Chain A
Amino acid sequence: MTTTAPDTGRSPTGERPAPPKRRPLTLRRRESRAGLALVAPTLLVTIAVIGIPIVWTVVLAFQRVRLATLRKTGLFGEFTMDNIDRVLHTPGFAETLWVTLLYSIGGTVGSIVLGLVAALVVRRPFRGRTLVRASMLLPYVAPVVAVTFVWQVMLDPQLGIVNAWGQRLLGWDAPVPFLSQESTALATVIVFEAWRYFPFAFLFLLARLQAVPGELEEAARVDGATPTQRFRHILLPQLLPVIALLGVLRFIMTFNKFDDVYLLTGGAAGTEVVSVRVYEFLTARTDIGAAAAQAVVLAVVLIVFVLIYLRFFGRRVS
């Protein structure tokens, strides 16, 4: 609750000597204490399960730690640059980074474009609109393991429906192994990403579209603006801040994504993104130090990209 009384909590103490018995707390101080008490559990959980691990990852990145030697290593063992060095010079590092970047940009742009088109077509009421809108959210709410499996089966060269119909109707000579050949795997994964996350962009853009005052468009229509002109000059400028925000959010989330690529291709056929690589270091090689170093590199690269982005679009995002 906001009280308008000026802050009287401190000034009296400076003037007279501290009274022998405790003064009752002012309303403002009681509010402050209540606030801290109520927010404490949130802070504790976030710091314990998110904050400390982030710091710890950085520490681990500079230590020689393997799963086998885990019990012997202390938090402040000897520090080394070995891990970082190893990560940067392991074959495939640059390629992984490049793939991650392509995947993130492709997935981000694809999902926003699809989401924008979807928001524009269901903007005005029509019969069955609620159902259509709900269906459009399905890819986003459904479990990732289930949807990746369906895609795998649909695209399967032997029993997938895409290849069956492609050969029957489109005259493909041979079945296309979409997820296991270098030339198509990354593109397929990006299309999957756009498909799965366009509902996220759709929700935000639809909410914004519905907040655009009707008079604006009405006035443009009276002035003789055609539908495409109204979109270009009225709607699009209204949507740009949301699109810029979505751009940065989706980029971050796609850059960090693990499940989708891991489940679709396992990182094979030129689709190894950084987080899949971290997972490989962590489990297959049980090299915790290298995994942490790789993760730190991932985070640093991400932060750099986000800063660059904010430098260009910062005003729109805020």
Chain B
Amino acid sequence: MDRDVVETVSLRWLRRLVIAVFLLITVFPFYYMLVLSVRPIERLLLDPGALVVGFGELTVATYAEVLKATDDGGQGFLTFIRNSGLVAVAATVLTLLVAIPGAYAVARLRFFGRRQVDFLFLAVYLFPSIVIAIPLFVVFTRAGLRGSLFGLVLVYISQTLPVSVYMLKNYFETIPVSLEESAAIDGAGRLGIIRRVSLPLAMPSIMAVALYDFMIAWNEFLFALLFLVDKPNRWTVSLGLSLLADGVEVPKTVLMAGSVVLTLPIVILFFASERLLTEGLTSGAEKG
């Protein structure tokens, strides 16, 4: 046998094996989260190695405890879900409102300072969010914005804006200029062109950016921790869950139920739009 055949055959098997290992390490933690969230804590202590839920031990009491309002002896996650949803949707919509015109301008219009805009994005990338967090912490404390969801939305917009503008800009650049020129000849003004020609064509990219923004805002933890920690009724799901773990005597199974509540919306959203998102995120990556 020559080397080529040996390599080809062994790599074929190796490849299958590696795919299986990757599937295991990426999916297993989520499966484990789900399994634990429906097992009673006593059963878990008896047999921590079990991978399936016995039919008799299945319970949803963990979810009831997580979701019920604090007045009813639960952890009040329904309120957190509402807060997180509100913040994430507001941040997404506002980011798009700001990013779309900005990206269009950078992609299409010549104006003073157009090239320098890239520096801003680099700065945002380069500077740790903890550096930005300190003065924001100070300002928000002074302005009384600490503990307000609006302040949080503002921070999330700034965090997602650079990547959003970058992704949209790349997409706008792929739309043929001639389409816009013919609209201009037909008498459309600048805003008319953007609204009637560019926006509809960029819809896939806009959807991808919207999903990205929503995920970032829903998952975010540091700023929520810094700004909202004193106001339990304003907590986001991420924050509520992390503080639940600090609390006394909360069983791990309840924590896992909370984790499922936090993860599920994102995973559903992600699988519903996976193709859109991966293509949107890496378009322009080929340039390297």
Contact = CB atoms under 8 A, between A and B. Distances in A.
Contact of B221 (A65, A163, A206, A263): A263
A295 B127 CA distance: 10
Contact of B286 (A41, A137, A211, A291): A211
Interface string A208-225: 100100000000000010
Interface residues of A, number: 101
A149 interface: yes
Interface stretch (B58-66, B69-77, B110-118): B110-118
Nearest to A241: B288
Interface string A1-28: 1100000000000000000000000001
A181 interface: no
- Interface SS of chain A: helix
Interface string A132-158: 111111110111111101110110101
Nearest to A200: B281
Nearest to A156: B252
Nearest to A292: B134
A32 interface: yes
A75 to B, nearest CB: 10
Contact of A49 (B15, B102, B131, B158): B158
Given A35-B109, A60-B135, A122 B19 contact: yes
B285 interface: yes
Given A46-B161, A207-B285, A252-B126, A295 B134 contact: yes
Interface in B208-251: 215, 218-219, 221-222, 226, 237-238, 241-242, 245
Given A135-B26, A136-B22, A143-B263, A46 B158 contact: yes
Interface stretch (A88-96, A182-190, A275-283): A275-283
Given A134-B270, A145-B259, A150-B33, A2 B286 contact: no
Interface residues of B, number: 101
A35 B105 contact: yes
A149 B259 contact: yes
Contacts of B52: none
Contact of B29 (A2, A39, A147): A147
A145 B241 contact: yes
Looking at A1, A36, A122, the one whose CB has the most chain B CB atoms below 10 A away is A1
Contacts of B99: 42
Given A39-B102, A49-B154, A60 B110 contact: no
A251 B142 CA distance: 34
B8 interface: yes
Contacts of B196: none
A300 B153 CA distance: 29
Contact of A39 (B106, B129, B226): B106
A143 B19 contact: no
A195 interface: yes
B22 A118 contact: yes
A149 B255 contact: yes
B93 interface: no
Interface string A89-127: 000000000000000000000000000011001100000
A53 interface: yes
B203 interface: no
B117 A39 contact: yes
Contacts of A146: 33, 241, 259-260, 262-263
Contacts of B27: 135, 138
Interface string B114-132: 1001001001111111111
A53 B260 CA distance: 35
Interface of A: 1-2, 28, 31-36, 38-39, 41-43, 45-46, 48-54, 56-57, 60, 65, 67, 70-71, 117-118, 121-122, 130, 132-139, 141-147, 149-151, 153-154, 156, 158-161, 163-165, 168, 195, 203-204, 206-208, 211, 224, 226-228, 241-242, 245, 249, 252-253, 255-256, 258-259, 263, 275, 278-279, 282-283, 288, 291-292, 295-296, 298-299, 302-303, 306
Please list the 7 inter-chain residue pairs (A to B) with the smallest Cβ-Cβ separation, ordered nearest first. A35-B111, A42-B102, A35-B109, A256-B128, A49-B158, A164-B49, A38-B105
Interface of B: 3-4, 7-8, 11, 15, 18-19, 22-23, 25-27, 29-30, 32-33, 36, 44-45, 48-49, 51, 97-99, 101-102, 104-106, 108-114, 117, 120, 123-139, 141-142, 154-155, 157-158, 161-162, 165, 177, 180-181, 184, 190, 215, 218-219, 221-222, 226, 237-238, 241-242, 245, 252, 255-256, 259-260, 262-263, 266-267, 270-271, 274-275, 278, 281-282, 285-286, 288
16 contacts: A35-B110, A53-B134, A118-B22, A122-B19, A134-B274, A142-B267, A145-B262, A146-B259, A153-B256, A156-B252, A208-B285, A228-B7, A256-B128, A258-B129, A295-B131, A296-B131
